[in-house]
Amino acid sequence: MSEAADQIFATLKQSSQSGAPLYLQLRKSIEDAVNRGLIGPGDALPSERDIATKADISRVTVRKAVQDLVKGGILIQRHGSGTFVAPRMERVEQSLSRLTSFTEDMARRGMAVRSAWLDRGLYAPSPDEMMVLGLSSNELVARVARLRIANDTPLAIERAALSASVLPDPAGIGSSLYAALELTGHRPVRAVQRISAANLGDSDARLLEVPPGIAGLHIERISYLASGKVIEFTRSIYRGDAYDFVAELRLSGPGEEVRP
Ligand code: GLP
């Protein structure tokens, strides 16, 4: 690390970049070094004092740049042992045209899947759940909330809600909700998925092992049986640094109906 560090900070010292604030210049030098592979995942950053001396800037400036990079997920800080380049996430490319389960998606990529339970049980439905699942206030909703983990990396928090008449024992689904639904003839055949940007709150960020406030994806899936009945209402938070959602687009032919 130290040779690379010398190089980075010497560059910074000599550069007369654009008059941008010093902490931004330092942040960019470190970020460039990570992107160019001069310093790699797991490498330790020199101490604040060393950086300040090498780059000839104040420790306050160094702290500001480093804190920004920690917030952005480029660096991580471990109490007592220092600051390191964050492990690189291998991004998962996910097609938006197939109705698959998390277990199937990860198995296809040869990744080991597991889940940590956050909640499972039968509850009085919320107004949203009643509306989407078509439940009345005297019916129950089955909730299944899991942290989804692939190759030991937490990728998503998924909170699924189904009618209790379809899933009377949410604790009994085993490792795959869709496999359990398949067994009872309730596997969905169609879904509408809505994806929006979300900054991760403290507790979600902690579960996903990323800094709070970092960009994530909020995904809502409403899935249907062949009969047209809604079977699943799932709200998830995915790590923004781990997923690329890919959709194939085609020019619609003349007279072809464009449906949502
Ligand atoms: C995906 C979907 C969820 C669905 C889940 C089922 O991740 N976004 O809406 O509930 O798959 O996955 P599994 O069958 O592995 O439990």
What is the per-residue pLDDT across 86-135, written as a single tens digit (0 to 9) for each?
877 777 788 888 899 999 988 888 889 999 999 999 999 999 999 999 99
Instruction: Give yes or no for residue 180 having a pLDDT over 80.
Output: yes
Pocket test for ligand 1, best of 102, 149, 173, 217 (most atoms within 8 A of CB): 102
Is residue 205 domain-resident?
yes
State whether 128 and 196 are in the same domain: yes
3-state secondary structure of 56: coil
Name the percent of the chain lying above pLDDT 70. 90
Is residue 169 domain-resident?
yes
Q: How far is the CA of 158 from the centre of ligand 1 (A)?
A: 8
Q: How far is the CA of 33 from the centre of ligand 1 (A)?
A: 38
State whether 79 and 152 are in the same domain: no
Instruction: Give yes or no for residue 219 having a pLDDT over 90.
Output: yes
Q: What pLDDT, in 10s, does the model give residues 21-71?
A: 888 888 888 888 887 778 888 888 888 888 888 888 899 999 999 998 888
State whether 18 and 143 are in the same domain: no
Q: Which amino acid is at 104?
A: E
Q: Which amino acid is at 22?
A: L
155: closest CA among 222, 124, 224, 109?
109
Q: Which pLDDT score, from 0 to 100, does residue 250 have?
A: 85
- Note down the domain range covering 38: 3-85
Backbone angles phi, psi at 4, to 5 degrees: -60, -40
For residue 66, what are the contacts with CB-CB under 8 A and spacing of at least 6? 30, 45, 48, 51, 75, 77, 83
State whether 77 and 99 are in the same domain: no
Backbone angles phi, psi at 249, to 5 degrees: -115, 140
State whether 212 and 108 are in the same domain: yes
State whether 116 and 212 are in the same domain: yes
For residue 259, what are the contacts with CB-CB under 8 A and spacing of at least 6? none
State whether 154 and 128 are in the same domain: yes
Check residue 66 and report its DSSP letter: H
176: closest CA among 160, 155, 194?
160
pTM above 0.75, yes or no: no
Q: How far is the CA of 102 from the centre of ligand 1 (A)?
A: 5
State whether 169 and 75 are in the same domain: no
What ligand 1 atom has the least distance to the C-alpha of 160?
10
Domain boundary among 47, 66, 85: 85
- Which uninterrupted H or E stretch holds 237? strand 230-239
State whether 204 and 232 are in the same domain: yes
Q: How many domains does the chain have?
A: 2
Cα separation, 96 vs 114, in Å, equals 22
Domain boundary among 40, 55, 85: 85
Q: Is 160 in the pocket of ligand 1 (CB under 6 A)?
A: yes
Find out whether 76 and 41 touch, Cβ atoms under 8 Å.
Answer: no
Domain boundary among 85, 102, 136: 85
> Residue 20: pLDDT band by 50, 70, 90 thresholds?
confident
What ligand 1 atom has the least distance to the C-alpha of 181?
14
Least confident of 46-55, 156-165, 176-185: 46-55
The number of beta carbons lying within 10 Å of the beta carbon of residue 60 is 11
> Residue 253: pLDDT band by 50, 70, 90 thresholds?
low
State whether 106 and 228 are in the same domain: yes
